[in-house]
Chain A
Amino acid sequence: MSTETLSASSLSEKRRVSALGDGTLARVAKYTAVRLVTLFITVVIGVYLTILIANMGGYVDTIMRNEIKYEAAQAVLANPVSRNLPPEVREKLIRERIALEEKRLGLDQPFFIRSLRYLRNALTLNLGYAIFMNSDSGSRQVRLILLERLPATLLLTGTSELILFFSSVFLALSLSRKYGSFWDKLTIALSPTSSAPPWFYGIFFILIFAAVLKVLPFGGIVDVPPPRNPIDYGLSVLKHLILPASSVIVSSFFLSIYNWRTYFLIYSSEDYVEMARAKGLPSRDIERRYILRPTLPTIVTNFALLVISLWTGFTITETVFLWPGLGRTLYQAIGLYDTPVIVGSTIIYAYLLAITVFLLDFIYALIDPRVKIGGESPQ
């Protein structure tokens, strides 16, 4: 979390010095244009690299060509009409079939040209059709496959990340007020527990609550068969949500509190806070006006990055809990060499990230009077 924050906030700190300087509007317009172009180029390169990797630099083509050859030969041989034809005719029939299928998948063009077409389609959010995967409703459209898994992922990531974020910020705020206390020391002592990822805690939770105590399910999103009654259905989903969500929360809970607490401590030792305290302001007011206010940009940055990260899901946690979310879909897509699905989920993430980084600049200017859009960066 902390490294992401750093890079995103410094992304926005990379402000161009305006050559003109006359008129706020011109400055903001120029800054916006430059920023948009840089971010767009970043997204283009990032997505193109993903396309190259997801196609193994063209090697996936070879795999697909072989598959097509095999299937064409099988189809012709299995057909009782064509089976009795002379071999030369049959050979021709197979070759025609291969050519047709390769044309359909665009394999008749060189990989470089196709990769550019992939790129164009991805950038225009024309996600196209999956090669092997189906959505549960039977569609091959990447858009539908991803949309179908989105609610499950958002339910898991949303619940866990929001609880984690707000509880750690508020707990950290109260801890920063009485540092050195027992709870403060306990948090510091427990913060190394966050070196383990969520799925790791997931295993322990499954062991304790599903295998030994038998109170919660091992995995999945809903009982089998799913309850008919919508209320029972909702309750069943909630019951399945408890373990994966709490493993996500527990895995970063203490470190998150620790980081926020340290951050708040830096600000609560400022002179103006001491001054306010000396004046006898109630601690609630001090927190709100003198500590939360200057830390707001960081809190907002973290929150924005958190919102983007909701989209990606937790690949391994979802795999361990058999949660039908986007992370697991991406993993399955990779296993099936299904490039359109891989690229589709990458491009959406890249766009969301770029838009967030772009918007954050303006949000900073709104909430922090020291920041001026396109102004000289305070080095």
Chain B
Amino acid sequence: MMRLRGFLSELLRYPSAIVGGLVVFLLIAVAIYTLIKIPYREAIRLWRGGEEVWYQNPKYAPPAWLNLFSAKKQPVSFAVNSADGEMEKVITPIDQTLSTIELKYSFDFVYDEFPQDLILYFRSKFNEKSPFVSISWVTPDERSIRIADFGVSRSQTFRFSQDQKLQKRLKTEAVIPALFRAPDAEDPRPLKGTYQLLITATTFEPDTDLDAEFVLHGKLYGLAGTDQYRRDLSLALLWGTPVALAFGLLAALGTSLLTMVIAAVGTWYSGIVDELIQRITEINLVLPFLAILIMVGTFYSRSIWVILGVTILLSIFSGSIKTYRAIFLQLRESPYIEAARAYGASNARIILVYLIPRMIPLLIPSLVSSVPSYVFLEASLAVLGLGDPVLPTWGKVIESAFTDGALYRGLYYWVLEPAALLMVTGLGFAMLGFALDRIFNPRLRDIS
């Protein structure tokens, strides 16, 4: 306990340790939050979902907070549903069978550009006679525009921009600008103020019900924006956190622990075991690491867990085995090992209880510092198109942005968001590892 407190107070002396530790802590918190909020299956279902899941979002929409930094405000998407009570809904019975349902929604439109589209999704319950709806639109300057009148089926979609009757009535194909602009105005900008959507339905059966979802496809969306399939990028960014942490930490932990155990076994038994380990290390040096990972990804399986296993397998017999070996060689001769041998401790006991624990101070900094390289390795493979087939990860977002030409088309947010997260993760672990290295290896502290 005292040692831990001493260690912590020493750690706090390094600013890089504080920043790095904070970043790592935050990442872990986000990962846990994500795992609880969006379970694994749900994440995969959403990420692999098509229009039916993501119809509310526009394509290629940058995040909404971009408006804070630009003078020209772009419209932000939203969706409201009368079934969830987000629209005002008034039911007025007229007689035994007839009644009217009035759906009303008012919103402030304060942007300098036109939205992409307005869409209404109707859901109605009736036996034989379908309800009849009429839609109208009230602009801030109190003009009322008739949008459409039709008998609605059980499930129906109405797209403002595609409706030909409305195009004819407004005498233009650009329906959306016409709805948002003052008539005869020179100014090609939308009118700011409160707009109102009014849906009046007449129903012809006693227990008919009607609900509508009103979706405005703006130019911006949410906290992270959307991609080419309308998917909300914040899902991938959130889920990328546990994936990156799991991959980085497991690979780092597996590699360093196994390397250490193998080095300890080799030095303890020496002779042929040691020789064999040395030879395997040299063969491993000849093997092309990245090429083998790409081959495994292409030929066998792209599952992140298979790739993780192969990564660990190829990294165990690396150069660090030699470093550990040199230190174990010294440790082997120390008196406490002699004592353990004298009281008859077994080989396994000496290796696991006496040799390896002595190396933990050396292990921890190198473990923490090696996490970023594995996090980036996963992203690198994803950029080559070998990302996990089902899970959303940061690398896969970068890859899909790249193949879709995001940089050519100025969709910078799409690349920058996952890249920033990767950078923050990498820097966080690297800084923490750096500070730990200085604390655990005082020899370095004297000179640096």
Interface residues of A (CB under 8 A from B): 2-8, 10-11, 14, 38, 42-43, 45-47, 49-50, 53-54, 56, 59-60, 179, 188-189, 191-197, 199-200, 203-204, 206-207, 210-211, 218, 262, 265-266, 269, 312, 315-316, 319-320, 330-331, 334-335, 337, 342, 345-346, 349-350, 353-354, 379
Contact = CB atoms under 8 A, between A and B. Distances in A.
A206 B419 CA distance: 13
Contacts of A53: 292, 295-296, 299
B281 interface: yes
Contacts of A38: 279, 282
A10 B447 CA distance: 25
Interface stretch (B43-51, B136-144, B153-161, B315-323): B315-323
A50 B372 contact: no
Contacts of A331: 294, 384
A42 B384 contact: no
Contact of A195 (B282, B295, B372): B372
Interface string B277-293: 01101111111101110
B16 A342 contact: no
B338 to A, nearest CB: 19
A49 B373 CA distance: 25
Interface stretch (B87-95, B228-236, B340-348, B423-431): B423-431
B20 to A, nearest CB: 8
A320 B444 contact: no
B331 interface: no
Given A2-B319, A7-B318, A346-B287, 14 more contacts: A6-B319, A42-B283, A46-B283, A46-B285, A46-B286, A50-B287, A50-B292, A195-B427, A203-B407, A315-B291, A334-B295, A337-B299, A353-B286, A354-B286
Contacts of A207: 407, 412, 415-416
B172 interface: no
Contacts of B323: 6
Taking chain A's interface residues, is the majority helix, strand, or loop, or is none over half, making it mixed? helix
28 contacts: A3-B318, A6-B320, A38-B282, A42-B285, A45-B283, A46-B283, A50-B291, A50-B292, A56-B300, A192-B426, A195-B372, A196-B372, A196-B426, A199-B380, A199-B383, A200-B423, A203-B402, A207-B416, A211-B408, A211-B412, A265-B447, A315-B291, A319-B383, A330-B288, A331-B294, A353-B285, A353-B286, A379-B329
Contacts of B412: 207, 211
Nearest to B373: A195
A319 B407 contact: no
A346 B419 contact: no
Contact of B448 (A50, A188, A194, A320): A188
Contacts of A379: 329
Interface string B306-326: 000000000000111011000
Contact of B422 (A194, A196, A316): A196
**What 7 pairs across the A-B complex have the smallest Cβ distances?**
A46-B286, A192-B430, A3-B319, A195-B372, A7-B319, A6-B319, A195-B426
A7 B285 contact: yes
The CB with the most chain A CB atoms within 10 A, among B16, B296, B373, B383, is that of B383
Contacts, number: 153
Contact of A50 (B288, B407, B419, B430): B288
Nearest to B325: A10
B260 to A, nearest CB: 14
A131 to B, nearest CB: 14
A191 B380 CA distance: 21
B407 A211 contact: yes
A10 B318 CA distance: 12
A179 B283 CA distance: 40
Interface string B420-442: 00110011011100100000000
B286 A7 contact: no
Contacts of B410: 211
Contacts of A345: 288, 291
Contact of B383 (A206, A218, A316): A316
B427 A193 contact: yes
A236 B255 CA distance: 44
B355 to A, nearest CB: 18
Nearest to B415: A203
A7 B448 contact: no
A13 B320 CA distance: 15
B376 interface: yes
B164 interface: no
Contact of B419 (A10, A14, A59, A204): A204
A305 B369 CA distance: 23
Contact of B376 (A56, A195, A330, A354): A195
A320 B402 contact: yes
A61 B373 CA distance: 35
A330 B293 CA distance: 12
Contact of B427 (A192, A197, A330, A337): A192
B442 to A, nearest CB: 14
A206 B407 CA distance: 8
B286 A47 contact: yes
Contacts of A54: 295
